Amino acid sequence: MSIRERLSGNEAAATAMKQINPDVVAAYPITPSTEIPQYFSTFVANGSVDSDFVAVESEHSAMSACIGAEAAGARAMTATSANGLSLMWEMIYIASSLRLPIVLSLVNRAVSGPLNIHNDHSDAMGVRDSGWIMLFSENNQEAYDNTLMAHRIAEHKDVRLPLMICQDGFITSHSIENIELVEDEKVKEFVGEYHPEHYLLNEKEPISVGPLDVQSYLFEHKAQQAEAMRNAKKVILEVAKDFEKMTGRKYGFFEEYKLEDAEVAIVCMNSTAGTTKFVVDNLREKGIKAGLLKLRVFRPFPAEEIANALGHLKAVAILDKADSLNAVGGALFQDVTSAMYVSKKQVPAVNYVYGIGGRDTKADDIEKVYEDLLDIVKSGKVENPYRYFGLRKEEK
């Protein structure tokens, strides 16, 4: 029987880490992810895990230590947010290039500047091309479930890539909600033991890791990383199937909420999906065929699948909780619309940048997006596809 609990998103992530019992956790405090290493160091102090906790002096060292530990043959995990991830950035790329299946819990927060500790997705978007698998979580349950699935995906022999699980700072990380936990023994069996093929601590087969990789080789090595990312798609679905067998909870690349017969829909990630579902239900009662595509797997990007799921719509709005500051729209918008273009799905599409720096995302805001979509359907025109909602009007 599963265990019913009430946990915050950070507690959920830390609980999953405790059940996974990694060999090494190296982490550095930063709001709003600080609680994760706090909880974890308590587990270490009380002997409820076998892990070695490395209380590093920066996030750069956190990721460096995770790389050293994982290359040595250990399972290594960490957690961070915003500027912490920015400071790790150099090592984030090195972790994926060394094909080390490190698992990171990213509690999304606005990247400075100016300084802001609240939620948006600018931290995650800054590493979207780094070769990490990126899973997004609507709530504490998904943050927990994604963490339990992480190692099976990351360590798979056809993948061997690091993986980050995203959840919204404060909105998810600090809100206590009901959660269903899997029993320790079942988690242990599901995650399995880690047996790397080559590792530094194997004295029978010393290895050298992280060479100078010149013009004759780097391109091939990068192509192998790209191949691994493509392979991850299949593995993510396989692991989700096994997870469903264990828990009854179903996961795919994305969740389609009342999307099948929808005429207008929103695409978004993380906690905004919860608010959107509420709005969709209300609109459906009014007879409006509204739907939602909540993206779970942002990297690898399931382009064809998304295009197919959205192709029948009369209009679609893509919500970005980070601005790309490129004068054309957010990263999710560009990925989704280019996927649709390539798949020849011509649906009028509009982008909304929203929730920056923790700006509240209200049901009314989401409802207004659907109203805009209905206008687009009526007029057949998309004027200014790069929009904001929740931005305060300038007071005169």
Partner 1 sequence: MPYNVKEVVANKPSRFTSGHRMCAGCGAPPAARMIMRALKPEDHAVVAGATGCMEVSTFIYPYTSWTDSFIHTAFECAAATLSGAEAAYQSMKKQGKIDNTTKFIAFGGDGGTYDIGLQSLSGAMERGHDMVYVCYDNGAYMNTGIQRSSATPRFADTTTSPAGTVIPGKMQSRKDLSKIMVGHHLPYVAQTIGYMNFKDLYEKAEKAIYTEGPCFLNVLAPCPRGWGYPTDMLMQINKLAVETCYWPLYEVIDGKYKINYKPAKKLPVEEFLRPQKRFKHMFKPGNEWMIEEFQKEVDARWQELLDLEEITNKV
- Residues at the interface with partner 1 (CB under 8 A): 23-24, 26, 50-52, 54-58, 60-61, 64-74, 76, 90-91, 94, 98, 200-203, 206-214, 217
Q: How far is the CB of 373 from partner 1 (least distance, A)?
A: 46
Which residue number, 3 or 223, has a Cβ lying nearer to partner 1? 223
Which residue number, 72 or 382, has a Cβ lying nearer to partner 1? 72
Q: How far is the CB of 96 from partner 1 (least distance, A)?
A: 12
Q: How far is the CB of 111 from partner 1 (least distance, A)?
A: 21
Residue 159 near residue 228, CB atoms below 8 Å:
yes
Which residue number, 44 or 382, has a Cβ lying nearer to partner 1? 44
Q: How far is the CB of 221 from partner 1 (least distance, A)?
A: 8
CA 288 to chain centre: 30
Q: How far is the CB of 162 from partner 1 (least distance, A)?
A: 13
Strand 315-320 versus strand 264-268 pairing type: parallel
Q: What is the DSSP string of 43-105?
A: HHHTTSS-PEEEE-SSHHHHHHHHHHHHHHT--EEEEE-HHHHHHHHHHHHHHHHTT---EEE
Which residue number, 192 or 210, has a Cβ lying nearer to partner 1? 210
Which residue number, 217 or 341, has a Cβ lying nearer to partner 1? 217
Q: How far is the CB of 56 from partner 1 (least distance, A)?
A: 6
The dihedrals phi and psi of 348, each to the nearest 5 degrees, come to: -55, 130
Q: What is the DSSP string of 276-288?
A: HHHHHHHHHHTT-
Place of tokens 């509009």: 350
Which residue number, 16 or 26, has a Cβ lying nearer to partner 1? 26
Q: Which residues contact 294 (CB under 8 A, 6 or more apart)?
A: 138, 254, 255, 257, 267, 268, 269, 273, 276
Q: Is 175 helix (H, G, I), strand (E, B) or coil?
A: coil
Which residue number, 72 or 246, has a Cβ lying nearer to partner 1? 72
Q: Is 315 helix (H, G, I), strand (E, B) or coil?
A: strand
Q: How far is the CB of 218 from partner 1 (least distance, A)?
A: 9
Q: Is 387 helix (H, G, I), strand (E, B) or coil?
A: strand
